[in-house]
Amino acid sequence: MTHTLIDAARELAPSFGARAQEWDKTRSYCWQNIDDLVSAGIMGMSIPGEYGGRGASFLDVVSVVEEIARSCALTARVVVEGNLGGISAVMAYGSAAQKAFCAPLVLAGDKPAICITEPDAGSAASQMQTTARKKGGKYILNGTKHWITGGGVSKLHLVFARVMNEAGIEQGIGGFILFADPRSGDCLAGFEVVRREHTLGLCGMPEAELRFDNVEVDKKWLLEPPSGLKHGFADLMSAYNSQRVGAGAVALGIAAGAHEHAKRYLLDRKQFGRPLAEFQGLQWMLADMDTQIHAARLLLRDAAQSRGPDGSAFPDMTKAARAKLFASEMAIKVVNDALQMFGARGYGDQEPLERMYRDVRMFTIGGGTAQVLRTQIAGSILGIKTPQSRDGYMRLSDTTPVAAE
């Protein structure tokens, strides 16, 4: 089964590559590719069979993501969010009704939007201000989220919010499943896509600001994390580790694609009467790129197969952080080196390198910055919690420090 999906991804990759420049130049979402992903069974491949998916593992998903990202990072990001992050949180923590509602939408091509970041809570995500206050059988949602991938094209939204009881006392952080289809205008009252960012890369993917102004959500759409709302943030972030691994796989795929282009060019292009491939300075660059790509792939596979403590359904936090950190920094360097090998041709848009160079840049920022991930990894190594807020305090972790590997 796994091979069928990876083979399908390989078969689709050339047509995705052929259209990638068009999405980039026109800043349009890759609807045509999504139809192909749906037909191939790649959208929602991680959803269990009883809900219509294929029950594919995280490892299967990251392998498919890498294949697609080699030719179109935009489409690969759709595959990430169509299988990991928000939808995987719903399938692991959700009620039967929540799963039965969300799964068919994703299988039909919807890429859920995960809504965590706010204007005043980026890296400090736990300081989010969006609230959901209970009122009878509903919650009233208020707040603003920004840089939401797919905002304006996604129908499903998983919105992280501080949950208050009727008296306004905070119970913890939970996720709310919101259906809103801004394209057809079928939105909950008070839900608004405020604006779209103009981005450096991945230009076909909307990154949008969303506002919730007294949005009424039935209480059945509260995604209750398994250990209750008090530990809700940690459980939701634990589910988010799957998306971090997915983001690393997109970065890896872009790097692998750039490396492939560079190899072809070194063999084709001649200077001083010889193929560039004969110059040792370039050979060593290519060898370093190859080595780094392989190392990232191993870290990502290790993370995808790992599980966090206490029977978690999701990748281990430290392994996910390590893999995403390494893959994202590696990919930025590898794509930069590949572009260098093309000389002026790499700088123009006849080759895909300039697009890949812009596309890859986000991966040390979105989904937890390189600095935040280093802090998490260091905390695990040392066995200490290092809250970053000014009134925070350093304390011994409840968990054992990670063993050296």
Residues making contact with ligand FAD (CB under 6 A): 114-117, 122-123, 147-149, 207, 362, 365-369, 371-372, 375, 388
In the complex, the smallest distance separating the C-beta of residue 16 from ligand FAD, rounded to whole angstroms, is 19
Residue 126: name its binding partner from ligand COA, ligand FAD, none (Cβ under 5 to 8 Å by kind): ligand COA
Query: Which amino acid is residue 133, in one-letter code?
Result: R
**Minimal distance, residue 1 CB to ligand FAD, in Å:** 29
Q: Which is nearer to ligand FAD, 174 or 282 (CB)?
A: 174
Instruction: Select from ligand COA, ligand FAD, none the partner in contact with residue 339, using the beta carbon and a kind-dependent cut-off of 5 to 8 Å.
Output: none
Nearer to ligand COA, 126 or 199 (CB): 126
Among ligand FAD, ligand COA, none, partner that 371 touches (CB below 5 to 8 angstroms by kind): ligand FAD
Q: Please state the closest distance from residue 322 (CB atom) to ligand COA, in A.
A: 12
Q: State the minimum distance, in angstroms, from the CB of residue 192 to ligand COA.
A: 20
Q: Which does 313 bind (CB under 5 to 8 A by kind): ligand FAD, ligand COA, none?
A: none
- Selection from ligand COA, ligand FAD, none that 27 binds (CB < 5 to 8 A by kind) is none
Q: Shortest gap between Cβ of 79 and ligand COA (angstroms)?
A: 16
Amino acid at 178: L
Q: What does 91 bind: ligand FAD, ligand COA, none (CB cut-off 5 to 8 Å by kind)?
A: none
What is the DSSP secondary-structure string of 366-397? TTS-HHHHHHHHHHHHHTEE---STT---EE-
Give the shortest CB-117-to-ligand FAD separation in angstroms. Answer: 3
Q: Are 361 and 201 in contact (CB under 8 A)?
A: yes
C-alpha 242/C-alpha 316 separation (Å) is: 9
**Integer Cα distance of 41 and 38 in angstroms:** 5
Q: For residue 72, what are the contacts with CB-CB under 8 A and spacing of at least 6?
A: 13, 16, 17, 19, 20, 23, 30, 33
Q: How many CB atoms lie within 10 A of CB 299?
A: 22
Say if strands 170-179 and 156-164 run parallel, antiparallel, or are unpaired. antiparallel
Task: Choose among ligand FAD, ligand COA, none what residue 234 binds, the Cβ cut-off being 5 to 8 Å by kind.
Answer: ligand COA
Per partner kind, with CB cut-offs from 5 to 8 A, the member of ligand COA, ligand FAD, none near residue 237 is ligand COA
Q: Which is nearer to ligand FAD, 350 or 371 (CB)?
A: 371
Instruction: Say which entry of ligand FAD, ligand COA, none residue 40 contacts (CB below 5 to 8 A, set by partner kind).
Output: none
- What is the binding site for ligand COA (CB under 6 A)? 114, 116-117, 123, 125-126, 233-234, 237-238, 240-241, 317, 367-368, 372, 376, 385, 387-388
Q: In the complex, what is the shortest distance from the CB of residue 77 to ligand COA, in angstroms, rounded to a whole number? A: 12
Query: What's the CA gap between 377 and 321, in Å, rounded?
Result: 7
Pairing outcome for strands 395-396 and 207-218:
unpaired
Alpha carbons 140 and 135: distance in angstroms, whole number: 7
User: Residue 185's CB: how many other CB atoms inside 10 A?
Assistant: 7
Closer to ligand COA by Cβ: residue 32 or 375: 375
Q: What are phi and psi of 47, to 5 degrees?
A: -70, 135
- Which long-range contacts (C-beta less than 8 Å, at least 24 apart) are formed by 369-374? 369/123, 370/325, 370/328, 370/329, 371/123, 372/123, 373/321, 373/322, 373/324, 373/325, 374/325
Q: What angle do CA 387, 390, 395 make, to 5 degrees?
A: 35
Choose between 187 and 234: whose C-beta lies nearer to ligand COA.
234
What residues pair up with 121 in beta bridges, in sequence order?
Answer: 118
Report, in Å, the least distance between residue 142 CB and ligand FAD.
17
Compare residues 232 and 257 and give the one whose CB is closer to ligand COA. 232
How far is 14 from 25, CA to CA, in rounded Å?
A: 18
What angle separates helix 58-69 from helix 73-81, to the nearest 10 degrees? 160
Q: Give least dist CB 18 to ligand FAD, A.
A: 24
